[in-house]
Amino acid sequence: MATPADTPADTPAGHRDAPGGASAPEAITLLLVRHGMTDATGPRLAGRAPGIHLNDVGRDQASRLAGRLAGLTPAALVSSPLERCQETAEAVAERLGTTVTTDDRFVECDYGSWTGRTLTDLSAEPLWRVVQDHPSAARFPGGEALATTSARAVEAVRDWNGRLLEQASPGSAPPVYVVCGHGDVIKAIIADALGMHLDLFQRLRVDPCSVTSITYTRTRPFLNKLNDTGEPLAGALPTAAETRGDAAVGGGAGRVPGDD
């Protein structure tokens, strides 16, 4: 398992102390945003299938998310290359007056032959229990291992942390940046920041258009917010699947009406 992404601790000392005594920031905050709803979110495992766009609910979620982030000046706005993330990130970019940078390392896990199948169907597969109970050992048929997904996503966070801290001016506020990605990718990044083994990441829930905030410092990461959708607290109740003990592979649709 990757160790927590404490990239700021590796920032060159010469960058921290500039002539004149002003110090460059040594902490950086990452806002992890999951894409908005699509017609496939929840019932099917969309994976890397092309042509999965935000539906009306997802576009509304993205618009409201952009409103919540208004006033923020991110050092970068980064997105997975898949359409549902690009469309979510573009809604934010338009509101904030910035541009989207695509980073393939934040792309969805490659679910191989599981892509496009319903979660109900997949739950009957022997691999389902491995994904639920021992995800660090799970490799999707014809696709990617969850451990590989975690490693590339955490590496990307380390890279962006270091890059943006290098660009920060002495005396400036600690930078903030936004990454728009996918449920399992975001859960893997959160697990790493908390020092959790990947086998425990199914305990985390990341709903569509939720925001998770992590500040990375020289000593440790801090989890500021987790799965914050700005919705009423009824959304904090478990989904029907969660009451049975299973996590939604791919992230799921969150708690929806009729989930009681």
Q: Could you tell me the CATH number of the domain that includes residue 173?
A: 3.40.50.1240
Question: pTM of the predicted model, to two decimals?
Answer: 0.84
User: For residue 23, what pLDDT is reported?
Assistant: 87
Model confidence pLDDT, tens digit, residues 59-110: 999 999 999 998 899 999 999 999 999 999 999 999 999 999 999 999 999 9
User: For residue 85, what pLDDT is reported?
Assistant: 99
6 membership: H or E segment, kind and range: none
Reply yes or no on whether the pLDDT at 18 is more than 90: no
What CA–CA distance (Å, rounded) separates 100 from 93? 7
Of 49 and 237, more confident: 49
User: For residue 1, what pLDDT is reported?
Assistant: 39
Q: What is the band of 39 on the pLDDT scale with cuts at 50, 70, 90?
A: very high
Of 84 and 2, more confident: 84
Reply yes or no on whether the pLDDT at 10 is more than 80: no
Reply yes or no on whether the pLDDT at 15 is more than 70: no
Strands (E), the chain: 28-34, 76-79, 101-102, 176-181, 211-216, 221-228
Comparing CA positions, the residue from 20, 53, 21, 25 lying closest to residue 37 is 53
| Residue 17 DSSP symbol | B
Query: Which of 106-115, 172-181, 224-233, 251-260 has the lowest average pLDDT?
Result: 251-260
Average pLDDT of the segment spanning 234-254: 58
> What domain count does the chain have?
1
Q: At a CB cut-off of 8 Å and minimum separation 6, what does 30 contact?
A: 157, 160, 161, 176, 177, 178, 179, 189, 213, 214, 215, 216
Is 85 contained in some domain?
yes
Is 60 contained in some domain?
yes
Query: What are the distances in angstroms from CA 49 to CA 21, 110, 113, 181?
Result: 52, 9, 11, 15
Q: Which residues pair with 32 in a beta bridge?
A: 179, 212
Is 258 contained in some domain?
no
Reply yes or no on whether the pLDDT at 212 is more than 80: yes
Of 19 and 97, more confident: 97
Average pLDDT of the segment spanning 3-26: 56
Is 181 contained in some domain?
yes
Is 224 contained in some domain?
yes
Model confidence pLDDT, tens digit, residues 133-143: 999 999 999 99
User: For residue 232, what pLDDT is reported?
Assistant: 60
Of 38 and 239, more confident: 38
- Domain containing 170: what range? 7-16+27-243
Average pLDDT of the segment spanning 137-166: 98
Is 254 contained in some domain?
no
Share of the chain above pLDDT 70, in %: 80
User: For residue 24, what pLDDT is reported?
Assistant: 86
What CA–CA distance (Å, rounded) separates 2 from 190? 12
Of 230 and 187, more confident: 187
Is 21 contained in some domain?
no
Is 250 contained in some domain?
no
Q: What residue type is 195 in one-letter code?
A: G
Reply yes or no on whether the pLDDT at 127 is more than 60: yes
